[in-house]
Amino acid sequence: MFDFLKKRFSEPSTFAGLAMAILGAGQVAKIDEAPAVADAISGAGQAIASGMDPMTAGIITLAGLASIFMGEKGDK
């Protein structure tokens, strides 16, 4: 499973697809920040294509997505 994920995150098309999915979901849910998030994910895909370690880029992307969906500690 780990090898499958590593292979997927080494392909810029994965990030392009993820960016499009987030942009589409943002349009449906009327989330104003969706274009910025999609642009950031697309940028991660470009970084991988230019030579960034795929695992590092994948971790950065997942951490960014997690920060969007996780609430603040004081927020209940």
Task: Express each pLDDT in 14-49 by its tens digit.
Answer: 777 888 887 788 778 787 877 887 787 777 777 766
Percent of the chain whose predicted confidence (pLDDT) is above 90: 0
- Cα–Cα distance between 73 and 76 in angstroms, integer? 8
- Asked whether the CA dihedral 25, 23, 33, 40 is positive or negative, the reply is positive
Amino acid identity of 54? P
Q: What total number of domains does the chain contain? A: 1
pLDDT attached to residue 71: 66
45 falls within a domain: yes
pLDDT attached to residue 72: 66
49 falls within a domain: yes
Range of the domain at 23: 8-55
43 falls within a domain: yes
51 falls within a domain: yes
Report the alpha-carbon angle 14-18-24, nearest 5: 145
For 70: left if phi > 0, alpha if psi spans -120 to 50, otherwise beta; the answer is beta
2 falls within a domain: no
